[in-house]
Amino acid sequence: MKLEMITHGAPWSARRATMVILVLLAARAPVWAWGERAHEIINAAAVENLPEPLRAFFRARQAFLVEHAIDPDRLAKENAEERPHHYTEVEAYDSYPFNVFRKQFVEERLGPTAAQLQHGDSLWQIERFTLKLSEDLRRRRWDDAERDAVFTAHYAADLTQPLHAVMNYNGQLTNQTGIHSRFESDLVNALGNRWALAARPVVIETDLRARIFQEYLATYQCQNLVFAADRIALAGWNYSDPRYFADFEKLAGLLAKRRIEAGVCFVSSLWYTAWVRAGKPIMPSRSPGSRERLAIPALP
Ligand SMILES: [Zn+2]
């Protein structure tokens, strides 16, 4: 879908995003996040990607979902315990294609070990919050559902950013330091307004863990492209040379767009699956009032 459609649905967020770009020029984003603009784009487009009647419920809350899209990152800045929820580095304890981990995560449905937790637990968080959202919808707790939809979307979107899936998350192991924000913030801020997103339709996930693992593999398989684009674009220049970024845009811009589209499909599929699992309750379409920044929700 075209981005104009998205911004028509949430004009306030578009103005805010412009301000955010200016701020990001002065201060780079932390490395546990897709950039702010990417999360806003994904949440806004995920609403439009939903089938009815769920789309009406989420449309009435689109401004809320966009406004609070990066609240989990704000929490991570203040609370170290929140940070591992934004990434998973399976390569720290298994080798691609991660068959041992797949057995543990998908077939045996085990939680992370203490050692694995050191390398992030976003995969488990995505499942937890999708189930939590489903329970909110089943019990008609609409305010809780809005909040948990934000957390589900945030962790799921982060998973579709390849540098949230690797130990070399900021290029620190390959002399490409700073690649994280160059890919997820600089690129998205430069190109995002021109993208006409074409996300795949939602899928009802009968096996949540299988889908989460599949998304993880897909995102992991893109990591080499990000690093190669950065390396090729840099050849002959340095990172402050505008010719580097012009080449990086050409080489990695389409990949960033494809990853955002994967995020839109993944997020909308999880929201929709939560509603189906809740028994497809009839939902109100009123708009919620403005809220304070979200707090870390208690998990069961
Ligand atoms: Zn994040």
pLDDT digits (tens, 9 = 90+) for 154-164: 999 999 999 99
pLDDT, residue 25, reads 35
The number of residues making up the chain comes to: 300
Q: Give the pTM.
A: 0.86
CA of 162 to the centre of ligand 1 (A): 13
CA of 236 to the centre of ligand 1 (A): 33
CA of 73 to the centre of ligand 1 (A): 5
CA of 149 to the centre of ligand 1 (A): 14
Q: What is the CA radius of gyration of the chain?
A: 18
CA of 143 to the centre of ligand 1 (A): 22
pLDDT, residue 30, reads 52
Q: In 3D, which of 153, 110, 97, 95 has the Cα closest to residue 129?
A: 153
pLDDT, residue 295, reads 66
Q: Say which range, 224-233, 245-254, 280-289, has the weakest mean pLDDT.
A: 280-289
The interaxial angle of helices 142-159 and 242-277, nearest 10 deg, is 140
> What is the average pLDDT score of the chain?
88
Domains of the chain: 3-277 (1.10.575.10)
**Encoding tokens for residue 41?**
């784009």
At residue 183, does pLDDT exceed 80? Answer: yes
CA of 79 to the centre of ligand 1 (A): 13
pLDDT of 20-56, one tens digit each? 333 333 333 455 667 899 999 999 999 999 999 999 9
